[in-house]
Structure 1
Amino acid sequence: MTKKIIMNPRPSKQPDPATADQWVENRAPDVKEPVKRLTLDIPVSLHRTIKAQCAMRDTKMVEEILELLIKKYGNPQ
């Protein structure tokens, strides 16, 4: 008996960068102004701690980090 494996074909083109930009702009509906992406390099241990704490509180990392930034710098809206 021969086992057949069916594989889906590889997508023929790269994702449209405009689609990715659209996703970034539309992922924070509670923000009333356009958003900018911020990339941070943090130690793995700190990332694990934040991620674990957020998992225990059933929150997203971005929500908690944004809250900390607003507490430190205020909400300019």
Structure 2
Amino acid sequence: MWRDCAPRADRVRIREHTCECRTVVYELCQAGGLLFIRRTYRSDAVLMHESEWLRTADGERLWLRVLLGQAR
């Protein structure tokens, strides 16, 4: 599900995010009329990945699944 981050848009809006105090932080992002989830893993190095870019309804469903622990 997770892919390397690729610069697809000039501006990305972060609509929601999980707590910054965790090792893994998830962000619900919006750009170009699409939603995607960015996952940031912080340890010795910072690793960032993102989900596929989805229509709004599909992106919101995926975000809910991530929050409920049903998708990682």
TM (norm. structure 2) is 0.25
More helix, by proportion: 1
Larger Rg: 1
TM (norm. structure 1) is 0.24
More strand, by proportion: 2
